Amino acid sequence: MRFTKRKRLRKTLQYYFLHFGIRETYHILLDGTFLQAALKYKIDVRDDLAHFLGGKTKYEVPRQVVRELRALGDDMRGAFLNAKRIKHVEIEGVPEDAPARDAFRAAVKDANAARFIIATQDLELRHTLRTQCPGVPVLSLNKGVLVLDRPSPASEEHVRAQELAKGTASKKEQRFLQKITGVDPDEESQSTPKKRRGPAAPNPLSRKAAAPRAGKRLAGDVPEVSSKKRRHQKQKERRRLGILEREHVDDSGQSQALQQAQEIAAPIPAPAADSSGEAAARSTGTDDVRQSRGVAREEDQSPESNTDRKCKRRGKRGGSKHKQKLTK
């Protein structure tokens, strides 16, 4: 046994409960065509319908339906036997020999005041209930699946009319108000003309302030800058100053290295054949330059210094004695 979606079923039942008062225990009025379809698809009417609607149910069959099933003979014998086991009901104002469709229409009159749920497979009867009878839930079988039809257009129109009627006071309420206030509401409505309201002005708080033009700005005015934009400008300025400092350091270091390399690579001028004083001065100057540069000439290295160094390396003493022998 399969059912339609539970969510849609609950919504439909809630709709009929709110607007038409259809609640448990559900009274289901069965048609002969529905009973025959239930036999065909092997559906237990009592158990499956109660499980489908999710509440207590009562089943009834009009006497006109039983008479029609008996008249159809062996073709509808199974439906006739099932109908005999179900409670029979008489519809007021409908004779027993009338068609079953008339009995169903009479049962749901006055916006389904008896709160019946109609179970039928008759297409013509279903169309009549949906278009002419508001507040009637219709059950049917679609290939062995139980289906509860959605609210009909007639039901929706009836509900809409009820909602509009709730907006105005009833006659009883109007009489009660007249006793309290002593004023007839109809006369009051005629005597006091309605005020005509013009178009509402826009809300000044919901509008954005117009931005001042560039030419209209005063000399002392300073444009406002958001805190986020101000923070971004400061970070940008810090990055720019950091890059300039690094460039200045790199330029100064590079210039000093180039100056030292140029001084080392510069050729040493040879002494010219001038006077002895000028040559000595030049030689002393060049020696000073060489000593400042850390360059030692071979001629300046005396044998005494070499011997002293050799002795120191070998760990011997007496470097001065060897120096004396060499001097002699």
Which residue's entry shows tokens 């109609």?
118
pLDDT of 156: 92
pLDDT of 298: 45
Cα 263 from Cα 293, distance rounded (Å): 9
pLDDT of 267: 56
Strand partners, 147: 140
The distance between the two most distant Cα atoms of the chain, rounded to a whole number of Å, is: 169
Cα 45 from Cα 37, distance rounded (Å): 10
Cis peptide before 128, with omega less than 30 degrees from 0? no
Q: Give the H/E segment covering residue 146.
A: strand 145-148
Cα 322 from Cα 326, distance rounded (Å): 6
pLDDT of 1: 46
Closest Cα to residue 137, out of 305, 21, 37?
Answer: 21
Across the beta sheet with 2-3, the strand order is: 2-3, 145-148, 138-142, 116-119, 26-30, 57-62, 87-89
Tokens of 41: 């698809």
Q: Give the H/E segment covering residue 250.
A: helix 227-265
Name the residue type at position 59: Y
Strand partners, 148: 139
Tokens of 154: 């007639």
Cα 150 from Cα 130, distance rounded (Å): 10
Q: What is the pLDDT of residues 137-160, one digit of tens each?
A: 999 999 889 999 999 999 999 998
Query: What DSSP string runs through 11-40?
Result: HHHHHHHHHH---SSEEEEE-HHHHHHHHH
- CA 41 to chain CA centroid, nearest Å: 46
pLDDT of 238: 81
Tokens of 239: 């990055």
pLDDT of 246: 64
pLDDT of 310: 61
315: left (phi over 0), alpha (psi -120 to 50) or beta: left
Q: What is the pLDDT of residues 273-296, one digit of tens each?
A: 444 445 444 555 555 545 544 444
Query: What DSSP string runs through 91-142?
Result: PTT--TTS-HHHHHHHHTHHHHTT-EEEE---HHHHHHHHHH-TT--EEEEE
pLDDT of 282: 52
Closest Cα to residue 105, out of 80, 86, 122?
Answer: 122
- Classify 209 as helix, strand or coil: coil
Residues 6+ apart with CB under 8 A from 147: 4, 139, 140, 141
Report residues of the chain scoring pLDDT below 50.
1, 219, 271-277, 279-281, 289, 292-303, 316, 318-319, 322-323, 326-328
Gap between the terminal Cα atoms of the chain:
136
Cα 259 to Cα 44, 66, 83, 216, distances in angstroms: 111, 125, 122, 58
Whole-model pTM: value is 0.52
Which residue's entry shows tokens 């509808």?
76
pLDDT of 182: 74
